[in-house]
Amino acid sequence: MHQLSDKKETNDPSESQTKKCINQIFAKMFEDLDKSSFKSCTIFKVNVRLRESNPDAYTPKMVSIGPYHRKNPQLRPMEKYKLLYLRRFLKRREGFDVKYWIGKLEELKEEALKCYDDIEGLDTDNRHEFCKMLLLDGCFVVEFIRECSEKYAEEGEDKIINFVDYKYNQILRDLLLLENQLPFFILDQLHSWTAKHDELQLEELAITLFSHVVNLGYMSVTGVSCLMNLFLFERDMKHLLQLVHTVSCPRNFEKSSNDNDTKWNKVMPNATELSEAGVRFAKFNQTTSLFDIKFENGLMTIPSLDVVDGTETLLRNLIAYEQQSIDLQYLYFSDYAIFMDQLIDTDKDVSLLRHKGIIANWIGEDKEVASLFNKMGNGVTVYSNFYYKEVFTKAVKHCDEKPWNRMKASLKHNYFSSPWVGASTMTVIILLILTTIQTILAIISAFK
């Protein structure tokens, strides 16, 4: 009876229909999977390991660009500004309305969709909705950059958002968030379709704008010129954040022969410990790169860094871009974060570096800067081609392989960590010397 029952269930039409539905569901999922392209994804959602130590650093405060944060109700007030910039954009080409431009963007829709990791709450089959977002957000970015560069639609036209407006700095911040990007080819097309014959390329306009607000101090005019020469041969920017990353990173860096060597010191003493071991610190002035850190003959030279309110957000998003990209040879910002996390443990380390001119603290107490770097390294993966491998190795060697340096560091840390401890130590030493002298004199007197 049991076997007959099983056979009957197998031939049940409803069960066969259920299996057919399940197969259709998975067939549709496999089809969607084939349509997606993991390699073409360039605008990621920040992974949990990086996000959990400071979620606000990856979240827009003023304006939503792209699909990830478009439903955030706190960002709705900026939608009217997007319309204002769209209206200015439309004035650039007479006779072309919104319908025309959405039609142009529909031709780029599929390529744009592949740039995103995962789009929730947006019907990817709805061409109008997605392309409307591309037009509104794209025109906002392009026209805002033009406005900041004083490329207005008409002579004497008032600015929509002024430099002194509180929204201005917040918008600049939001435009450099990894999750708040549009594919650069969308922005570039919108710009080129409406650019004047003598107007600069969008890359140059954007770099000029962000070089004034990226508080890294090393986006020089020379760097801009070199990058623009590069664009003459290859223009493959993925988004605005990558543009800033490209300008800020070293160029023409030669790969060392021991990049794949995993036998190196992955832990370096902090600044206080290094100082106690006789390491001297100095600000490296003659450099065009934030990453140009050297250690030679007991001297560590480090380029200066202004730590301001936006520093953490910018660094975190540049790190997130590096950590989730698959086509970068060196992760400069990630390695810099790890280096600074090793160098700085407490406010004493920040104070030491600040007095040497290496860190300019504009955010408050030194312990806040220490906390910033200690948390920034959370979730950052270090690879065998770590950029500061040689610096780590030399610093550890200086502290560990020279007995005098090690003994001096231990002596200073244990017995001269503060003026009071040092005074007590000196008192004990003096008493010990006097007692020794007294004992020697007593022995001499006894012999006599």
CB-based contact 307:362 (threshold 8 Å):
yes
CA 231 to chain centre: 23
pLDDT at 6 (0 to 100)? 46
Q: Residue 294, SS3? A: strand
Which of 374 and 33 is assigned the larger pLDDT? 374
Closest CA to 58 of 66, 47, 73, 42: 47
pLDDT at 401 (0 to 100)? 67
pLDDT at 2 over 50: no
Distance CA 358, CA 215 (A): 14
Amino acid identity for residue 426 in this structure: M
pLDDT at 444 (0 to 100)? 81
For 18-45, what is the mean pLDDT? 71
- How wide is the angle at C-alpha 352 spanned by C-alphas 348 and 357, nearest 5°? 145
Distance CA 83, CA 139 (A): 9
Which of 3 and 289 is assigned the larger pLDDT? 289
Residue at token pair 């004497």: 156
Share of the chain above pLDDT 90, in %: 55
- End-to-end Cα, the chain, rounded Å: 120
For 279-304, what is the mean pLDDT? 90
CB-based contact 431:303 (threshold 8 Å):
no
Query: What phi, psi does 361 have (nearest 5°)?
Result: -90, 110
Q: What pLDDT digit, counting tens, does each position of 364-419 carry?
A: 999 999 999 999 999 999 998 999 999 999 999 888 765 565 565 556 656 555 66
- How wide is the angle at C-alpha 378 spanned by C-alphas 372 and 382, nearest 5°? 120
Q: What does the buried/exposed string (b/e) look like for 39-48 if buried means 16 or more CB atoms within 10 Å of the residue's CB?
A: eebbbbbbee
Distance CA 20, CA 14 (A): 10
pLDDT at 233 over 50: no
pTM of the complete model beyond 0.75: yes
Distance CA 204, CA 44 (A): 24
Residues ≥6 apart with Cβ < 8 Å to 335: 291, 382, 386, 387, 388
pLDDT at 135 over 60: yes
Q: Are strands 280-283 and 299-302 parallel, antiparallel or unpaired?
A: parallel
CB-based contact 352:271 (threshold 8 Å):
yes
Distance CA 79, CA 137 (A): 9
Residue at token pair 């026209």: 143
Integer-rounded Cα radius of gyration of the chain: 30
Residue at token pair 């003023």: 62
Which of 72 and 118 is assigned the larger pLDDT? 72
- Label residue 66 left, alpha or beta by phi (over 0 means left) and psi (-120 to 50 means alpha): left
CA dihedral for 355, 358, 361, 367, sign (positive or negative): negative
Residue at token pair 């520093």: 311
CB-based contact 374:344 (threshold 8 Å):
yes
CA dihedral for 127, 130, 131, 136, sign (positive or negative): positive
Distance CA 355, CA 90 (A): 53
Q: Of the segments 231-235, 289-293, 344-348, which one has the largest average pLDDT value?
A: 344-348
pLDDT mean across residues, the chain: 84
pLDDT at 262 (0 to 100)? 55
pLDDT at 5 (0 to 100)? 47
Q: Are strands 299-302 and 359-361 parallel, antiparallel or unpaired?
A: unpaired
Q: What pLDDT digit, counting tens, does each position of 169-210 carry?
A: 999 999 999 999 999 999 999 999 999 888 899 998 998 888
pLDDT at 150 over 60: yes
Other C-beta atoms lying within 10 Å of the C-beta of residue 307: 22
pLDDT at 158 (0 to 100)? 83
Residues ≥6 apart with Cβ < 8 Å to 232: none
Distance CA 97, CA 104 (A): 11
Distance CA 213, CA 196 (A): 26
pLDDT at 407 (0 to 100)? 60
pLDDT at 8 (0 to 100)? 47
Closest CA to 357 of 310, 429, 307, 406: 307
Q: Pull the structure tokens for residue 117.
A: 């990791």
Distance CA 436, CA 448 (A): 19
pLDDT at 160 over 70: yes
Residues ≥6 apart with Cβ < 8 Å to 16: none
> What is the maximum alpha-carbon separation in the chain?
121
